[in-house]
Amino acid sequence: MVETKVTAQRHLPADLPDRIQHYVGGENVDSADGATFPVLDPASNETYLHAAAGKRVDVDRAVAAARRAFDDGPWPRLLPRERSRTLHRVADIVESRDTRLAELESFDSGLPITQALGQARRAAENFRFFADLVVAQADDAYKVPGRQINYVNRKPIGVAGLITPWNTPFMLESWKLGPALATGNTVVLKPAEFTPLSASLWAGIFQEAGLPPGVFNLVHGLGEEAGDALVRHPDVPLISFTGESRTGQTIFANAAPHLKGLSMELGGKSPAVVFADADLSAAIDATIFGVFSLNGERCTAGSRILVQREVYDEFVERYAAQAARVVVGPPHEARTEVGALVHPEHYDKVMGYIEIGRTEGRLVAGGGRPEGFPTGNYVAPTVFVDVAPDARIFQEEIFGPVVAITPFDTDEDALALANGVKYGLAAYVWTNDLRRAHTFAQAVEAGMVWLNSNNVRDLRTPFGGVKASGLGHEGGYRSIDFYTHQQAVHVTLGEPHNPTFGKGH
């Protein structure tokens, strides 16, 4: 039985706005045609505000403002240390308001408040990391003694188009904004339409930190309208996108005629492989957290658990019992471990997969709406076992609190199962055999692998996937590479060494 708690009335944070505008050239503005769209509270599915619905003309205005700030403004020409100071002020402001940011993020996205607080603090850390990195960075230089010096000159590229998802939106926005701004670019941010509230806070934060007008611009709206206009805009040479793989394919196609730089972190169906010699208690704790934290709405969720047959029955029994004890509750309550899914459209998708799963596996926990929550997008943590590798719930990304557990016999079987999907974002391996751990990690088709660990990442390491899980990497110097031109400058020392043409014999 999933633990629940019912509140007597709908929870509303204090001082909620009733509308959200775009932010262009340092000013809050409505859409050119005045259009808006409703934004829902996931815990009740009631409309709590209307946001400006951006179209092509609104994106054009934002890109023009960003282009002016890049061509004529001070930001790209500041020393890295000067930009760093501004970004540290951004981090200070975010840290000082983490409780309020978490409250609004939790309300808007349905994330449990304790997890939303962690994401707000991580957003501040992202800005600090890139503020420090851009100052400490050393560019390559090569010498041919007495003849030549060659060095790399990094330059910001221009207007960066940033398209962000609705899961942990504020943190993921910071992950793109930090390096884009640190390297001297100007930006146009198009946040997900399901969760515009926390994105709208960036304008005030950047103003207070002293970012020049036009460096940061924000256009709300639907992906097929505002997002597509940003992707197709000829004055936006870079697009960084996080979202589902099908949308990534569309962006890839629509950006191709402009030969834009693309960084795309897409979907995942990550395996968590548990060998018989693993610490089962640690593996169960980690895999419970790995798929049910953030409401299961996380790209790196270990949503396929592969368990060696010798310990399979024990693992399944213990896992199902622990999943049934996960606390589903209102997002704003500190005891809540799984809150409400972001939107009724997504809730219907997840519930559809649960119905499919009833025909593809054995249900041992959850399976639908928990008791005591007649409204809102609540889904009980759901566990299917004995799932075949050709099942849809094994192959397709659900992006909710649903997990498929499958047995295996040998290391070769585990690797075939782990690699047997179109995705390749993350993988988790649990074993006390050091040789097996490293051998498996190097053979699995995943951009990131954790050995006997939950998803704990050093910001210096690359983040990205293979196959249908993405294109390119961000994180550490990979982000600096993406947001800068690397111009090679060659200097001849002494006499030039030129072949002689045109002087006869």
Catalytic residue among 103, 105, 299, 397: 299
The sign one gets for the Cα dihedral 394, 328, 165, 168 is: negative
Alpha-carbon span 28 to 231, nearest angstrom = 22
Alpha-carbon span 171 to 464, nearest angstrom = 16
Alpha-carbon span 139 to 406, nearest angstrom = 48
State phi, psi for 378 to the nearest 5 degrees. Answer: -95, 130
Alpha-carbon Rg of the chain, whole angstroms?
24
Strands (E), 98-200: 141-144, 148-156, 159-163, 186-190
For the chain, the straight-line distance linking the first and the last C-alpha, in angstroms and rounded, comes to 95
Distances (CA, A) of 283 to 91, 138, 383, 412, 451: 34, 40, 16, 20, 11
265 given a catalytic annotation: yes
404 half-sphere exposure, CB direction, 13 A CA radius: 29
Distances (CA, A) of 263 to 157, 464, 478: 14, 9, 10
299 given a catalytic annotation: yes
Alpha-carbon span 177 to 154, nearest angstrom = 18
Distances (CA, A) of 456 to 153, 339, 362, 450, 453: 33, 22, 31, 8, 7
Question: Contact at 8 Å (CB) between 427 and 441?
Answer: yes
Alpha-carbon span 185 to 71, nearest angstrom = 10
Catalytic residue among 173, 225, 265, 445: 265
* Residues noted as catalytic: 265, 299
